[in-house]
Amino acid sequence: MTETKIVVITGASSGMGEATAKLLAKDGARLVLGARREERLKILKSEVEKLGGQAVYGMTDVTDVAQVEALAQLTMQTFGRIDVWINSAGIMPQSPLADKRIADWDNMIDINIKTLYGIGAALPYMNKQQAGQIINVSSVAGHIAHQNSAVYSATKFAVQAISESLRQEMAAAQNNVRVTVVAPGAVNTELLSSVTDPQVKAGMAQFYDSFAISADRVALTIKQAIDLPADAAWNEVIIRPTNQIG
Ligand code: NDP
Protein backbone atom coordinates (compact mmCIF):
# COMPACT_ATOMS: atom_id res chain seq x y z
CA MET A 1 0.00 0.00 0.00
CA THR A 2 2.95 2.30 0.67
CA GLU A 3 3.93 2.39 -3.03
CA THR A 4 1.50 5.19 -3.76
CA LYS A 5 2.26 7.14 -0.60
CA ILE A 6 4.28 10.31 -0.30
CA VAL A 7 6.19 10.13 2.97
CA VAL A 8 8.26 12.82 4.68
CA ILE A 9 10.83 11.65 7.24
CA THR A 10 12.75 13.92 9.62
CA GLY A 11 15.85 12.32 11.14
CA ALA A 12 16.21 10.38 7.89
CA SER A 13 20.01 10.42 7.82
CA SER A 14 20.49 7.52 10.26
CA GLY A 15 18.87 4.98 12.56
CA MET A 16 15.13 4.44 12.41
CA GLY A 17 14.48 7.21 9.89
CA GLU A 18 16.99 5.73 7.47
CA ALA A 19 15.74 2.16 8.00
CA THR A 20 12.15 3.29 7.39
CA ALA A 21 13.12 5.07 4.17
CA LYS A 22 14.82 1.93 2.86
CA LEU A 23 11.92 -0.34 3.77
CA LEU A 24 9.29 1.92 2.21
CA ALA A 25 11.49 2.33 -0.88
CA LYS A 26 11.15 -1.40 -1.60
CA ASP A 27 7.43 -0.74 -2.15
CA GLY A 28 8.19 2.13 -4.50
CA ALA A 29 7.29 4.89 -2.01
CA ARG A 30 8.01 8.52 -2.82
CA LEU A 31 10.12 9.92 -0.02
CA VAL A 32 11.19 13.31 1.21
CA LEU A 33 14.23 12.99 3.45
CA GLY A 34 15.09 15.62 6.08
CA ALA A 35 18.11 15.92 8.41
CA ARG A 36 21.19 18.12 8.82
CA ARG A 37 23.91 15.89 7.31
CA GLU A 38 23.68 16.41 3.56
CA GLU A 39 26.22 13.75 2.60
CA ARG A 40 24.20 11.07 4.39
CA LEU A 41 20.98 12.23 2.74
CA LYS A 42 22.60 12.18 -0.69
CA ILE A 43 23.75 8.59 -0.21
CA LEU A 44 20.35 7.55 1.15
CA LYS A 45 18.58 9.13 -1.84
CA SER A 46 20.59 6.98 -4.24
CA GLU A 47 20.03 3.86 -2.09
CA VAL A 48 16.28 4.52 -2.09
CA GLU A 49 16.31 4.84 -5.86
CA LYS A 50 18.23 1.56 -6.23
CA LEU A 51 15.63 -0.14 -4.03
CA GLY A 52 12.79 1.03 -6.27
CA GLY A 53 11.59 4.20 -4.56
CA GLN A 54 11.85 7.88 -5.44
CA ALA A 55 13.44 10.44 -3.15
CA VAL A 56 14.34 14.07 -2.74
CA TYR A 57 16.01 15.51 0.30
CA GLY A 58 16.12 18.82 2.11
CA MET A 59 18.78 19.76 4.63
CA THR A 60 16.59 20.41 7.65
CA ASP A 61 17.34 21.39 11.22
CA VAL A 62 14.10 20.61 13.05
CA THR A 63 14.69 23.44 15.53
CA ASP A 64 14.34 25.96 12.68
CA VAL A 65 10.70 26.44 11.77
CA ALA A 66 11.52 27.96 8.37
CA GLN A 67 13.58 24.90 7.41
CA VAL A 68 10.80 22.53 8.46
CA GLU A 69 8.21 24.55 6.51
CA ALA A 70 10.59 24.44 3.52
CA LEU A 71 10.65 20.63 3.74
CA ALA A 72 6.85 20.59 3.47
CA GLN A 73 6.98 22.98 0.52
CA LEU A 74 9.61 20.82 -1.19
CA THR A 75 7.26 17.87 -0.80
CA MET A 76 4.32 19.75 -2.31
CA GLN A 77 6.40 21.08 -5.21
CA THR A 78 7.87 17.66 -5.98
CA PHE A 79 5.00 15.27 -5.34
CA GLY A 80 1.87 17.44 -4.88
CA ARG A 81 0.69 16.05 -1.54
CA ILE A 82 1.81 14.79 1.88
CA ASP A 83 0.37 11.43 2.86
CA VAL A 84 2.58 10.66 5.86
CA TRP A 85 4.87 12.86 7.97
CA ILE A 86 7.24 10.95 10.26
CA ASN A 87 8.95 12.90 13.06
CA SER A 88 11.96 10.72 13.90
CA ALA A 89 14.62 13.38 14.59
CA GLY A 90 15.83 13.23 18.18
CA ILE A 91 18.76 13.08 20.58
CA MET A 92 19.25 11.39 23.97
CA PRO A 93 22.12 12.90 26.01
CA GLN A 94 21.06 11.52 29.37
CA SER A 95 22.83 12.50 32.61
CA PRO A 96 22.12 13.08 36.31
CA LEU A 97 20.28 16.36 36.95
CA ALA A 98 22.89 17.39 39.54
CA ASP A 99 25.53 17.50 36.80
CA LYS A 100 23.70 20.47 35.23
CA ARG A 101 24.54 19.63 31.62
CA ILE A 102 22.37 22.53 30.62
CA ALA A 103 23.35 22.58 26.95
CA ASP A 104 22.17 18.95 26.74
CA TRP A 105 18.88 19.83 28.46
CA ASP A 106 18.29 22.71 26.07
CA ASN A 107 19.16 20.66 22.99
CA MET A 108 16.83 17.81 23.97
CA ILE A 109 13.99 20.19 24.71
CA ASP A 110 14.59 22.00 21.46
CA ILE A 111 15.05 19.05 19.13
CA ASN A 112 12.76 16.39 20.58
CA ILE A 113 9.76 18.61 21.30
CA LYS A 114 10.13 20.39 17.96
CA THR A 115 8.18 17.46 16.60
CA LEU A 116 5.69 20.34 16.86
CA TYR A 117 7.18 22.11 13.85
CA GLY A 118 6.75 18.99 11.73
CA ILE A 119 3.13 18.71 12.78
CA GLY A 120 2.57 22.40 12.07
CA ALA A 121 4.16 22.13 8.63
CA ALA A 122 2.14 19.08 7.55
CA LEU A 123 -1.30 19.91 8.93
CA PRO A 124 -2.47 22.63 6.54
CA TYR A 125 -1.86 20.31 3.59
CA MET A 126 -3.42 17.29 5.29
CA ASN A 127 -6.44 19.41 6.23
CA LYS A 128 -6.87 20.46 2.62
CA GLN A 129 -6.47 16.86 1.44
CA GLN A 130 -8.86 15.64 4.17
CA ALA A 131 -6.41 12.79 4.64
CA GLY A 132 -2.98 12.09 6.06
CA GLN A 133 -0.98 10.52 8.86
CA ILE A 134 1.41 11.97 11.42
CA ILE A 135 3.80 9.47 13.00
CA ASN A 136 5.73 10.69 16.04
CA VAL A 137 8.64 8.65 17.37
CA SER A 138 8.46 8.80 21.15
CA SER A 139 10.06 6.17 23.42
CA VAL A 140 9.48 3.79 26.28
CA ALA A 141 11.03 6.74 28.13
CA GLY A 142 7.81 8.59 27.25
CA HIS A 143 6.05 6.28 29.71
CA ILE A 144 8.66 5.66 32.40
CA ALA A 145 11.33 7.92 33.89
CA HIS A 146 14.53 6.50 35.32
CA GLN A 147 17.63 7.94 36.97
CA ASN A 148 19.48 10.09 34.40
CA SER A 149 16.50 10.18 32.01
CA ALA A 150 14.69 13.19 33.52
CA VAL A 151 14.95 15.60 30.61
CA TYR A 152 14.89 12.97 27.85
CA SER A 153 11.80 11.40 29.43
CA ALA A 154 10.21 14.81 29.86
CA THR A 155 10.61 15.50 26.15
CA LYS A 156 9.14 12.12 25.22
CA PHE A 157 6.25 12.54 27.70
CA ALA A 158 5.67 15.82 25.88
CA VAL A 159 5.56 14.02 22.52
CA GLN A 160 2.95 11.66 23.99
CA ALA A 161 0.82 14.58 25.21
CA ILE A 162 1.13 16.50 21.95
CA SER A 163 0.17 13.38 19.98
CA GLU A 164 -2.93 12.64 22.06
CA SER A 165 -4.16 16.23 21.80
CA LEU A 166 -3.51 16.14 18.08
CA ARG A 167 -5.41 12.86 17.73
CA GLN A 168 -8.45 14.32 19.48
CA GLU A 169 -8.30 17.54 17.47
CA MET A 170 -8.09 15.64 14.17
CA ALA A 171 -11.00 13.40 15.14
CA ALA A 172 -13.05 16.44 16.18
CA ALA A 173 -12.29 18.04 12.82
CA GLN A 174 -13.38 14.81 11.07
CA ASN A 175 -10.55 15.31 8.60
CA ASN A 176 -9.34 11.70 8.36
CA VAL A 177 -5.86 12.52 9.66
CA ARG A 178 -4.42 9.57 11.58
CA VAL A 179 -2.04 10.04 14.50
CA THR A 180 0.40 7.30 15.47
CA VAL A 181 3.01 7.26 18.24
CA VAL A 182 5.78 4.71 17.91
CA ALA A 183 7.51 4.20 21.27
CA PRO A 184 10.57 1.98 20.99
CA GLY A 185 12.75 0.41 23.65
CA ALA A 186 16.46 -0.09 22.96
CA VAL A 187 17.25 0.03 19.25
CA ASN A 188 20.67 -0.22 17.66
CA THR A 189 21.25 3.20 16.03
CA GLU A 190 23.63 6.14 16.35
CA LEU A 191 21.61 7.60 19.23
CA LEU A 192 24.19 6.86 21.93
CA SER A 193 26.64 9.15 20.14
CA SER A 194 24.58 12.05 21.52
CA VAL A 195 25.36 11.09 25.15
CA THR A 196 28.00 13.45 26.56
CA ASP A 197 28.46 11.95 30.04
CA PRO A 198 31.12 9.18 29.62
CA GLN A 199 29.93 7.16 32.60
CA VAL A 200 26.28 7.23 31.56
CA LYS A 201 27.29 6.44 28.00
CA ALA A 202 29.30 3.38 29.07
CA GLY A 203 26.38 2.07 31.14
CA MET A 204 23.94 2.59 28.28
CA ALA A 205 26.31 0.99 25.78
CA GLN A 206 26.45 -2.10 27.94
CA PHE A 207 22.66 -2.23 28.11
CA TYR A 208 22.34 -1.69 24.36
CA ASP A 209 24.96 -4.36 23.62
CA SER A 210 22.86 -6.85 25.58
CA PHE A 211 19.39 -5.96 24.36
CA ALA A 212 19.10 -3.57 21.42
CA ILE A 213 17.19 -4.71 18.35
CA SER A 214 17.71 -3.63 14.75
CA ALA A 215 16.16 -0.38 13.50
CA ASP A 216 14.55 -2.57 10.82
CA ARG A 217 12.08 -3.79 13.45
CA VAL A 218 10.87 -0.25 14.06
CA ALA A 219 10.77 0.43 10.33
CA LEU A 220 8.50 -2.57 9.91
CA THR A 221 6.22 -1.28 12.68
CA ILE A 222 5.99 2.11 10.99
CA LYS A 223 5.23 0.47 7.64
CA GLN A 224 2.49 -1.63 9.21
CA ALA A 225 0.97 1.48 10.81
CA ILE A 226 0.94 3.15 7.40
CA ASP A 227 -0.48 0.09 5.65
CA LEU A 228 -3.49 -0.19 7.96
CA PRO A 229 -6.71 0.78 6.08
CA ALA A 230 -7.27 4.54 6.35
CA ASP A 231 -10.39 4.30 8.51
CA ALA A 232 -8.36 2.85 11.40
CA ALA A 233 -5.20 3.98 13.17
CA TRP A 234 -2.67 2.49 15.51
CA ASN A 235 -2.58 5.39 17.95
CA GLU A 236 0.38 4.01 19.83
CA VAL A 237 2.74 1.10 19.43
CA ILE A 238 5.32 0.24 22.10
CA ILE A 239 8.01 -1.94 20.58
CA ARG A 240 10.68 -3.35 22.91
CA PRO A 241 13.33 -6.00 22.51
CA THR A 242 11.63 -9.18 23.72
CA ASN A 243 13.97 -9.53 26.71
CA GLN A 244 14.12 -5.84 27.75
CA ILE A 245 12.57 -5.49 31.22
CA GLY A 246 12.14 -1.74 31.83
P1 NDP B 1 19.99 8.28 15.38
O2 NDP B 1 20.96 9.07 16.16
O3 NDP B 1 20.51 7.17 14.53
O4 NDP B 1 19.11 9.23 14.47
C5 NDP B 1 18.69 10.50 14.89
C6 NDP B 1 18.32 11.32 13.70
O7 NDP B 1 17.87 12.60 14.16
C8 NDP B 1 19.47 11.55 12.74
O9 NDP B 1 19.02 11.35 11.43
C10 NDP B 1 19.83 13.01 12.96
O11 NDP B 1 20.26 13.58 11.72
C12 NDP B 1 18.49 13.58 13.37
N13 NDP B 1 18.61 14.84 14.10
C14 NDP B 1 19.20 15.08 15.29
N15 NDP B 1 19.13 16.39 15.58
C16 NDP B 1 18.47 16.99 14.55
C17 NDP B 1 18.10 18.31 14.25
N18 NDP B 1 18.38 19.34 15.06
N19 NDP B 1 17.45 18.55 13.09
C20 NDP B 1 17.17 17.54 12.25
N21 NDP B 1 17.49 16.27 12.47
C22 NDP B 1 18.15 16.00 13.60
O23 NDP B 1 18.95 7.71 16.45
P24 NDP B 1 17.55 6.94 16.33
O25 NDP B 1 17.23 6.56 14.95
O26 NDP B 1 17.57 5.93 17.39
O27 NDP B 1 16.55 8.10 16.79
C28 NDP B 1 15.32 8.33 16.14
C29 NDP B 1 14.27 8.65 17.19
O30 NDP B 1 14.02 7.49 17.97
C31 NDP B 1 14.66 9.73 18.19
O32 NDP B 1 13.56 10.61 18.37
C33 NDP B 1 14.94 8.96 19.47
O34 NDP B 1 14.70 9.73 20.61
C35 NDP B 1 13.95 7.83 19.33
N36 NDP B 1 14.22 6.64 20.12
C37 NDP B 1 15.37 5.92 19.96
C38 NDP B 1 15.61 4.79 20.69
C39 NDP B 1 16.83 3.96 20.55
O40 NDP B 1 17.09 3.09 21.39
N41 NDP B 1 17.64 4.15 19.50
C42 NDP B 1 14.63 4.31 21.69
C43 NDP B 1 13.45 5.11 21.76
C44 NDP B 1 13.26 6.23 21.02
P45 NDP B 1 21.36 14.74 11.53
O46 NDP B 1 22.37 14.58 12.64
O47 NDP B 1 21.91 14.45 10.16
O48 NDP B 1 20.60 16.00 11.58
Per-residue pLDDT at 3 exceeds 80: no
Q: Is 152 a catalytic residue?
A: yes
- Render pLDDT for 192-205 as a digit per residue (tens, 0 to 9): 999 999 999 999 99
Q: Provide the residue ranges of all domains of the chain, joining segments of one domain with +.
A: 2-239
Question: 212: which DSSP letter?
Answer: P
Nearest alpha-carbon partner for 213 in 190, 236, 189, 193: 189
- Ligand 1: which residue has its CA nearest to atom 41? 187
pLDDT digits (tens, 9 = 90+) for 27-85: 999 999 999 999 999 999 999 999 999 999 999 999 999 999 999 999 999 999 999 99
CATH code of the region 2-239: 3.40.50.720
Q: Is the pLDDT of residue 4 over 70?
A: yes
Tens digits of per-residue pLDDT, 152-193? 999 999 999 999 999 999 999 999 999 999 999 999 999 999
Measured CA distances, 117 to 94, 122, 210 (Å) = 23, 9, 35
Instruction: Give the ligand 1 atom nearest the CA of 62.
Output: 19
Q: Give 98-125 pLDDT, tens digit per residue.
A: 999 999 999 999 999 999 999 999 999 9
How far apart, in whole angstroms, are the C-alpha atoms of residue 135 and residue 224?
12
134 pLDDT exceeds 60?
Answer: yes
Q: How many CB atoms lie within 10 A of CB 1?
A: 12
Asked if 47 contacts 58 with a C-beta cutoff of 8 angstroms, the reply is no
Q: How far is the CA of 173 from the centre of ligand 1 (A)?
A: 31
